Amino acid sequence: MGWGKWRSRVSCGHPTARSVLLAMLLILTSLFYCLSGYSESAGRRAPAPPGLPATPPPRLSGDGSFGARELPQAIIIGVKKGGTRALLEFLRVHPDVRAAGAETHFFDRFYERGLDWYRSLMPRTLEGQITMEKTPSYFVTREAPRHVYAMNRLTKLIVVVRDPVTRAISDYTQTRTKSPGLPSFQNLAFKNITTGLIDTSWSAVHIGIYAKHLDNWLRYFPLSRFLFVSGERLVADPAGEMGRVQDFLGLKRVVTDKHFYFNQTKGFPCLKKPEGSSRPRCLGKSKGRTHPRIPPDALLRLREFYRPFNLKFYQMTGLNFGWD
């Protein structure tokens, strides 16, 4: 058929030509709506196909990673050899907790490096998750509370405490492992063994004067910003203490007794085998060391030394830890 005849048919309204044009118009219209992602009937974006998320993925940071690095909202500030590592590992089980791996020592050693440096040490978190870190030496560092307050006066502070005598022996045991030639515990704890004069300058003894250290922190933070965790109860009833910790942090009680079992060899609780793992999670070999035998009279004098400080600590916190 020549062009002249075809033009004549179109212009004259030939039925075949009109049908072809109408079909082409319908095809082009459908193609437009499909490509633009709108449904033909409602004018809305078409729902996601089955199996794909209906909402956008989590926000990406500048380098393409998920989440963002935030300054910690909660810090485990003490005490050394009190059970801080166990507490942090138990908290890591919670899906809404993200914690720095190593102790940062920002508020006691590296404060001059600034908050941007501190933030860079934190893990990435998503909306609804909290960021944490632990550095037990903060509790006994004079400048630490002022530094933490300058960062955020609403920071939640967790202190894991333990019988100061047992804690001092554990501290000594750890140090002796690294320095085998260390003098005996009693030679370091007493200025004069005969008179029983305690050497409070020795760090293993000094850390256990909890009331003194807490008094320094209370100059900046009210008692309501603190949670005091019993190191003894963390061993005897980890689920119970973890319940208190989760409540304090505003978290749902996800970590419960179903997550723990007691390791008779180490003498403390371990986390049960996580899904997809070949073995349970226990703390490393450095935890659960056998303590050296200390002469009973040395222990008695040390307990007498700590008793008034313990009683004051009980009064300050409103908690009786039963160390006496």
DSSP letter string over 245-287? HHHHTT------GGGEEEETTTTEEEEPPPTT-SS-B---TTS
- With CA atoms as reference, report the closest residue to 94 among 239, 280, 288: 239
Say whether 162 counts as a known binding-site residue: yes
Query: Do 272 and 260 contact (CB within 8 A), yes or no?
Result: yes
CATH architecture, domain 68-165+206-290: 3-Layer(aba) Sandwich (3.40)
- pLDDT computed for residue 42 by the predictor: 37
- pLDDT computed for residue 58 by the predictor: 45
Say whether 259 counts as a known binding-site residue: no
User: Rounded to two decimals, what is the model's pTM?
Assistant: 0.78
Per-residue pLDDT reduced to its tens digit, 253-271: 999 999 999 988 877 899 9
Say whether 36 counts as a known binding-site residue: no
Respond yes or no: is residue 81 known to be catalytic. Answer: yes
Q: Which residues of the chain have pLDDT under 70?
A: 1-65, 273-280, 283-289
Selected catalytic residue, list 81, 212, 252, 285: 81
- pLDDT computed for residue 324 by the predictor: 83
Domain residue extents for the chain: 68-165+206-290
- pLDDT computed for residue 218 by the predictor: 98
- pLDDT computed for residue 268 by the predictor: 82
Say whether 85 counts as a known binding-site residue: yes
166: left (phi > 0), else alpha (psi -120 to 50), else beta? Answer: alpha
Say whether 9 counts as a known binding-site residue: no
